[in-house]
Chain A
Amino acid sequence: MSGINYGEKIPNNVNLSSDRALQRALEHWQPNYLQWWQDMGPDGSHGFDVYLRTAVSVEPDGWAHFDHVKMPDYRWGIFLAPQDGQRKIHFGENLGRDVWQDVPGEHRANLRRIIVTQGDTEPASIEQQRHLGMTAPSQYDLRNLFQINVEEGRHLWAMVYLLHRYFGRDGREEADALLQRSSGDADNPRILGAFNEKTPDWLAFYMFTYFTDRDGKFQLCALAESGFDPLARTTKFMLTEEAHHMFVGESGVSRIIQRTCEVMRELKTDDPATIRAAGVIDLPTIQRYLNFHYSVTIDLFGADQSSNAAIFYSAGLKGRYEEGKRTDDHQLKNDTYRVLTVDGGKLRETEVPMLNALNEVLRDDFIKDSMAGVGRWNKVIEKSGLPFRLSVPHKAFNRQIGTLAGIRVAPDGEVLSEAQWQANQHKWLPTPEDRAFVASLMGRVVETGKFANWIAPPVMGVNRQAVNFEYVRFN
């Protein structure tokens, strides 16, 4: 493999060719990655020409190059936001010191753990979505799926670069393990629960990209504040790509809602059975999917009280969302935060030291951001003159992690007995029948400019192209 000119093969702004050892390490890893992409990447898609955005630099004019490419030939690169020589650690006990350009020995294990956990989600989502291409509702949506897939692949590269560059042998082993774990694998699963769930249909995909990729956004935002400068710079650039993923989710759900509302108005009905018979997804089913993805995603932020989170923060490894824009002392030693607990069958807020509640702080920021988008979905329904409104369930609903794990709570926040939960959960979470119905709608639409019946076309195409542009050439 030594003949490969990596300066061209791996676009990068880290002067890769000047570091022979690192270059060799990545040379070793690259064929394994490509093999993994062949085995676990988008199924049956390797020969398609896909209209993809490739980043070729981090400048505004350099990271949106569009062209038809075959995905295995996609130019996965290593991009860090420009280095700012003046950056200081701006939170925690090292506040005011210069940021680290190398891994400080005492934080090595924690940083590796943070990077591995983030890195593990990237290939996981590709694995979760690998069969969706078979049922894409249009070329436009298929292209968006593939765009997300290749960018998640690039995010894996970003994390693998950090592991190889800064963590020596351990790092290389962790990088290999990222390709060995597999989403949903009983023996060697992905690290986080939500990344072992199936993404069986396109409604689930849009919900996943809306909620779960938004978790990604908040984690990346918190890491972009890090005192470990290479991590901050790489996550900062990843965020610009992540934005597209959330767009696909938000606009995807919005288009499904719009199509459903059109049919409801035509048929003048809100009866789910009639609406389903017309071949579109009824709003209560969309609400149940929302409840599921929302609750599974907010678990990703971790336990509501966590000493690890406190350590990461105090050490300057992981900040809060928009840490730099907050005006407190950035030490938080005397601050408190209100978290939910269950007390005598009732939910109650208790004050705990903020340092231990930083997962909860990030979760609450996520919740605020999520609700804004749900509000925009409701605008679509409102515009159609229909009274139905979507809402996010209570924070304690369907939780598996933290103090609230296993407690039965209705979407409105009422604490329930196990019997009440069992009797009602089919109203709140997608049932096997719901999933079977949605699956029954999933048929592949390949014709340029055509869309499946259950989803409205987008308002505009990609990169100013028309909606009926040939986004994927199937060859």
Chain B
Amino acid sequence: MNAPLPPEVLKQHLIDPEICIRCNTCEETCPIDAITHDGTNYVVDPAICNGCMACVPPCPTGSIDNWRLVLKTEAYSVEEQFGWDELPGEKALPDTVSANAASNGEEIASVVSEGGEGVDSASAPTPVFSPSGATIPPWSAAHPYVNLYGHKTPAVATVVGNYRVTDEDTDSDIHHIVLDFGNVPFPVLEGQSIGILPPGTDAQGRPHHARQYSLASPRDGERAGYNNLSLTVKRVTEDHQGQPARGVCSNYLCDLARNDTVQVIGPFGNTFLMPNHAHANLMMICTGTGSAPMRAMTERYRRRIARGTNGRLMLFFGARTQRELPYFGPLMKLPRDFIDINLALSRDAAQPRRYVQDLIRERAADVLTLLQDTNTCIYVCGLKGMETGVLDALRDVVVQSGEDWTILHDVLRREGRLHFETY
């Protein structure tokens, strides 16, 4: 199971109803409320589970430890699982899975062109464990704290800032939200995420699930030395198919006023972490709100410029237009010798459509130099669909130089140097 999975494949977490004794331990343990039950079965919601494994050791029966490879589009729904008397057998994946992966570039392009739509939506996508990337952090990563606050004991943070970071005249309403934790310890690292518990209940009268957001600020605070952090939140007004849908949590967050309080769980994430050793290079590839962790890492580096130990930073950043690029202004003020910025705009009237993967290919020589340096770590964050496109582009760069991508890809994963966070 160490081979990378094609991006359209999900390793789905399932509970064996024949062995489960319905003791509720897993539901109690899950830090992000991915487990639920009805009168018959305990089930895992594939849209929420991030494969953190917190529920596995406490399960008294072993029924919790079941996994099936399925196409993401055909993942077993919660309702299906409620009806089971026993686990379904392993289904063979279609032979065309990898062929599809190669040929759906067009579809990916169209998804990426939405500019990082939907940190949450009616279908509630949350970061998915991605086998294309590493499952361990780079060697010099700082040790993260995770799951300090669960849904039963959330931390309370106060909103101290909420600004729109895209132009008013664009459809893309992205907010930069600053949360202050006061005296509540909430230690975080760049690349980690937190969960927000939106108030109220869903149509079934159950409390809303938590939604996860990546930090946009570095470990020492949005304002250095303060116990605060920031998030990049896009107001969701339509689902992935473009149908109108009002994102529960994103609208809640975007509408918050100063001094409002929010319930926060987490922190989450122990792999998508930045290296800390001198001269470590960062290659950052993102679209839309996927820029949040990149902003955090870049800011971490910026605050350490004076030390003179920074490696190189290379950013590939995609959005529909320049005005929809969150943080465009501050980004452009960064010195060119500090960060190499490549913007891919898919709806700029003056230019042909360009996506991040196009830019990676254009910059092949510099990308290759970085890829060949063992001090380089690569971070990809954005919509699920971008994973294949980015992997293909990286492969092309490597293959065209006569190198073996399979070997390099494996090394990057094994050494914790290639990370995906997609939703």
Contact = CB atoms under 8 A, between A and B. Distances in A.
A251 interface: yes
A175 to B, nearest CB: 28
B23 A247 contact: yes
Contacts of A246: 21, 23, 60
A240 B54 contact: no
A326 interface: no
B25 A240 contact: yes
Task: List the 4 closest A-B pairs by CB distance, nearest first.
Answer: A243-B23, A64-B57, A244-B60, A60-B54
Contact of B61 (A59, A251, A372): A251
A82 B54 contact: no
A408 to B, nearest CB: 33
Given A372-B22, A464-B65, A247 B60 contact: yes
Interface in A390-445: none
Contacts of B60: 243-244, 246-247
Main secondary structure on A side of the interface with B: helix
A382 to B, nearest CB: 10
A86 B21 CA distance: 32
A247 B60 CA distance: 7
B62 interface: yes
Contact of A64 (B18, B58, B85): B58
Interface in B197-231: none
A373 B21 CA distance: 8
Given A247-B60, A251-B61, 11 more contacts: A60-B55, A61-B54, A82-B153, A84-B152, A84-B153, A240-B29, A243-B23, A244-B60, A372-B22, A373-B21, A462-B62
Contacts of A250: 21
30 contacts: A60-B54, A60-B57, A60-B58, A60-B147, A61-B54, A61-B57, A64-B57, A64-B58, A82-B153, A84-B152, A86-B153, A239-B25, A240-B25, A240-B29, A240-B58, A244-B60, A246-B23, A246-B60, A250-B21, A251-B19, A251-B61, A372-B39, A372-B40, A376-B18, A459-B18, A459-B19, A460-B19, A463-B62, A464-B62, A464-B65
B28 interface: yes
A26 to B, nearest CB: 27
Interface string A435-475: 00000000000000000000000011111100000000000
A215 to B, nearest CB: 14
Given A379-B85, A460-B62, A243 B147 contact: no
Interface in B35-79: 39-40, 54-55, 57-58, 60-62, 65
Contact of A63 (B18, B57, B61, B62): B57
Nearest to A241: B60
B21 A243 contact: yes
Contacts of B61: 247, 251
Interface in A214-251: 217, 239-240, 243-244, 246-247, 250-251
B353 to A, nearest CB: 46
Residue of B29, B58, B65 most packed against chain A (CB within 10 A): B58
Contacts of A82: 153
Nearest to B184: A85
Contacts of B85: 379
A402 B24 CA distance: 31
A379 B55 CA distance: 26
A58 to B, nearest CB: 10
A250 B61 CA distance: 10
A84 B21 CA distance: 28
A168 B67 CA distance: 51
B368 to A, nearest CB: 40
Contacts of A373: 21
A63 B55 CA distance: 11
A295 B62 CA distance: 30
Contacts of B40: 372
A305 to B, nearest CB: 29
A463 B65 CA distance: 10
A412 to B, nearest CB: 24
Contacts of A464: 62, 65
Contacts of A61: 54, 57
A216 B266 CA distance: 32
Contacts of B153: 82, 84, 86
Given A247-B21, A460-B19, A60 B29 contact: yes
A101 B39 CA distance: 35
Contacts of B62: 460-464
Given A82-B153, A240-B28, A464-B62, A59 B23 contact: no
